[in-house]
Chain A
């Protein structure tokens, strides 16, 4: 699928076809990948009817409140004018253009596994949006949270999540789940320092005072053992569990902004990956 599209883009670029068609194709691919990566869920202040991607959404965490930045192409308040390398460093390594470090509330330890081509297609899509002038709000972190400079050390110890190679045939699902969809950021339990316990990939994370937690979605009895592949695909499309209950909280946004927008083949790849875990 991905390679197919990439090959198509290449063909259009090199085959002397109308460049406009290639550009459209890149934007369509970028839009699709942006959905699959769920960027809009975090970078939109939905509670106050904010413009998509203009930031300002409050992420509450044990460390305090993070306000997501504006990622529309406004050159003063957004990411207009960023070079490809600056964007790649932010998305995959958590490094800002001025060299400072982002907090992992921005799930770059997951996005690190994104291919360069896919990341740049996302950039091309974001660059095509209407710029929105909206200054970023400073984070409100608790007193004990170390400054950005300490995140360098944190990253050296923890980032990116070092997943093992996926089994043959499950590559696409693994890519969508681990990297683009960053499902583990909510569904995988965390150990010291907030590091994901990859040996318990998607085994569920407990509810705490500051987090709604997330259920197990591996193929264990606590997870999706009783779900058919088609039940998972249907849930990811429309949000209904087999018992008739509809998704809520963080997952409702994941379904709305991400999984409901995917092709049936990609939803199936995700479902197959989950059913093969454990």
Chain B
């Protein structure tokens, strides 16, 4: 954490900071980040339900369906005019593998919808973890690490 913070400070002090800032202004990149954040927030919401921190069991399926809807946008989030930010160049070099990774996320989200619609907690939890792992699998290959 400390290291991460120092890294951020160093990055801000260097001209790299300016480049990162420019990237933030590319609407395609902003759109990509907005969708990715939406997906992530869907997980936060489902996590609160799964832990019973909020008593909204019926909203699990609603969130799962929203995730399954938005996850279908991933395959189109990396047009050629959106290179940069934390997306590694590799993602534009191997479109077939990227499409597979995006499809895995779609399949996992669909499985989560199915589990949330008629599963017990254990089935939902398993599908929830698998869906999260499908995101992480793509990030490990194509997204720069956080620090």
Which A residues are closer than 8 A to B by beta carbons?
204, 206-207, 215-216, 221-223, 230, 234, 237-240, 242-249, 252, 260
Q: How many A-B residue pairs lie within 8 Å, measured between CB atoms?
A: 54
User: Measured between alpha carbons, how far is A242 from B45 in the docked complex, in Å?
Assistant: 10
Chain B residues positioned under 8 Å from A206 (CB to CB): 3
Pick the contact of A230: B1, B51, B136, B147 (CB < 8 A). Answer: B51
Which B residues are closer than 8 A to A by beta carbons?
1-3, 40-41, 43-44, 47, 50-51, 53, 125, 128-129, 132-133, 135-136, 139-140, 147
- Pair B133/A246 contact, Cβ less than 8 Å: yes
Pick the contact of B136: A216, A223, A247 (CB < 8 A). Answer: A247
30 CB contacts below 8 A, A to B, read A204-B1, A221-B1, A222-B1, A222-B2, A223-B1, A234-B47, A234-B51, A238-B47, A238-B50, A238-B125, A239-B129, A239-B132, A239-B136, A240-B43, A240-B47, A240-B128, A240-B132, A242-B47, A244-B40, A244-B41, A245-B40, A246-B132, A246-B133, A246-B135, A247-B136, A248-B136, A248-B140, A249-B140, A252-B136, A260-B129
State the Cβ distance, A244 to closest chain B Cβ, in Å.
Answer: 4
User: Measured between alpha carbons, how far is A247 from B129 in the docked complex, in Å?
Assistant: 10
- Pair A239/B133 contact, Cβ less than 8 Å: yes
Pick the contact of B125: A237, A242, A246 (CB < 8 A). Answer: A237
State the Cβ distance, B102 to closest chain A Cβ, in Å.
Answer: 16
Q: Which residue of A lies closest to B45 (CB)?
A: A244
Q: Which residue of A lies closest to B131 (CB)?
A: A246
User: Measured between alpha carbons, how far is A75 from B38 in the docked complex, in Å?
Assistant: 54
Chain A residues positioned under 8 Å from B47 (CB to CB): 234, 238, 240, 242, 244
